[in-house]
Amino acid sequence: GAVVSQHPSRVICKSGTSVKIECRSLDFQATTMFWYRQFPKQSLMLMATSNEGSKATYEQGVEKDKFLINHASLTLSTLTVTSAHPEDSSFYICSAEGTVNYGYTFGSGTRLTVV
């Protein structure tokens, strides 16, 4: 149980375009979704926390207009990287938490490359 499906696993896009990353909780209701980014050989950096039906809470230094997070339902959250630039290239991981599981179930990650 407690599976989170994250898509796409890899994406290459051109500078200036937008990319949407989806995370779906397959067998539980995700009341809270955490979005992380991870640079090579570094730890995870929390970008934002979203609760279903509410606006996301962004960490200091994370541009909310650039990284749009939507958590409109209990099973789906999306992260849209708008007007992507090469410096946005990174590994993005979502983590979902429901009312039953408190184990921080993670998606498999999305490797974004902006060229």
Partner 1 sequence: AQKVTQAQTEISVVEKEDVTLDCVYETRDTTYYLFWYKQPPSGELVFLIRRNSFDEQNEISGRYSWNFQKSTSSFNFTITASQVVDSAVYFCALSALPGAGNNRKLIWGLGTSLAVNP
Give the interface with partner 1 as residue ranges (CB under 8 A): 32, 34, 41-44, 46, 49, 57, 91, 93, 95, 102-106, 108-109, 111
Least distance in Å: CB of 8 to partner 1? Answer: 13
Least distance to partner 1, CB of residue 114, Å: 18
Cβ-based nearer residue to partner 1, 76 or 109? 109
Q: Which is nearer to partner 1, 3 or 72 (CB)?
A: 3
Angle at 15 between CA 22 and CA 108, to 5 degrees: 25
CB of 84 to partner 1, least distance (A): 19
Provide the 8-state DSSP code for 15: T
> Residues near 89 by Cβ (< 8 Å), separated by ≥ 6?
112, 113, 114
Nearest to 21 by CA among 85, 86, 71: 71
